[in-house]
Structure 1
Amino acid sequence: MRIDAHQHFWIYDAVKDAWITDEMAVLQRNFMPTDLAPVLKANQIDGVIAVQADQSLQETQFLVDLSTMYAMIKAVVGWVDLQSPTLHEQLNHFRQFPIIKGFRHIVEAESDPDFLLRDAVQGGIEKLTEYGYTYDLLVKPIHYPAALSCVRNNPEQQFILDHMAKPNIKDKAFEDWAQFIDELGRLPNVACKISGLATESDWENWELVDFAPYIQHAVRSFGKDRLLFGSDWPVCYLAASYEEVIAIVENNLVDFTSAELNGFWGENAKRIYKF
């Protein structure tokens, strides 16, 4: 089974989706399972993990509701308020939906470099561990030190790094990112999605070779059994088609056995997200 471990759905609203600026006009419309289905079929992808794009409980329920109508959705990574005193009630509510495998917060939008180390956030992650949920890490460079500490502080929690921690491929920045990936990869409770790379490059002028040092470094750091494929559809359309996203990855899967390729394209996602 081939799984896209990272994509989004939304009914576009200019207020709710204010992060979609005019520079991203291609995304200023609805993106629903009926839009994605032919893309998946054309690329021989059997299912997806739908990941939250809006930080609200309504967003989590929206993805759950879609999963009841579209069999392509194999798992949901939703949102809960990790800092809320009612987190326990939120998790109790969502545990009735087994399609939900984990949660995420858009930490990259937080100006506080130590957001992940706040007492309330740490307490929230401890609750996720208690309930058996995964936690997707979406961070920028300012959050790297806190992310490392957060993972070390929670050795029983399964973390999944989104978009390879968003390396600045456009400017060919490498060393600081590579050091972070090295350190994170040494921690056994973290997996890594090879996803979202085209949008970190020059949207108009990228080449396949631009991504090689980043992907190959992630493979060395995490090993092949902790890597997952994600398209970041439809955000990828800012810089690449779905087919180009696959080409970016396929071009750099060197020295993978058949079993390792099966893992990367789906079995690792099934094991790590437990579906």
Structure 2
Amino acid sequence: MRRVTIVPILVALAACSSAPSPEGVQPPAPPPRATSAEPAPSASGARAAPAAAPSAAPAAEAPQHPAPCPEGALPPPAAPWAVFVQDKGCMALFNYNLRNPEPDDVIAVEVYDTHRVTGADVARLRYTQYIGKEKQDVSYREHLPLHVAVTAKGLYVLDAEADESVVTAALKKPPTYTHPPRIVKPTKGNNYRYVTVVKTPRGEVTCFGHAHPRDGSCEDTCTGEVCISPTKGVVSLGGTASPSFEFFAQEGFDGRE
């Protein structure tokens, strides 16, 4: 019998071109045509079951959580501090503890219960942390404004349980924060509380909280801070003001100049 030697390169060429196959090498048989006819009976007389249809592609995985604050859902506030009393307003703060925003760890600051008292706009704030598919209320952390009023004078931070009569009395006093604010330096006499102005890439913000005691009375995490903007609302929080003492901020307010 005549022996046929197949050079490897000819086999590669035959697989990549339409040139005739070398003598003695038969091209592979074409795949059978699809048919709609019933399958032929088997040797036992039973008809074979039709081939199963290919399974559908797996559905795309649902997002870990709904967007806490829909983009562009509300027009910008018309006046300084109005963002704090904007009905259904919302501010999204991302976890920046690892220097980059973590989209699956977000605190939504929601404005609700908006109403008027003695010519002032009054509202309450709720802080909800979204971690993956879970959420939890974190409004109990230190320094967080929970009940506020806004007038042309500035922003009033009220007691969370203050009723209308208490709010009316508070409005007769100077506001808690103006822009720029009155600077308060931390001292032992004021329990190391402070108010300061911080420059960020998106403008100046007012930051307040308490500094680490200088008298050695605290050996753990004792500092906490909240930063607010008259146009963006709550822009960052950290330390004892934050869950797990981590740093959360709106995009663009994660650094200081």
Q: Which structure has the higher relative contact order (CA within 8 Å, separation 6+)?
A: 1
Which protein has the bigger strand share? 2
Q: Which has the larger radius of gyration?
A: 2
TM over 0.5: no
Which protein has the bigger helix share? 1
TM-score by length of 2: 0.30
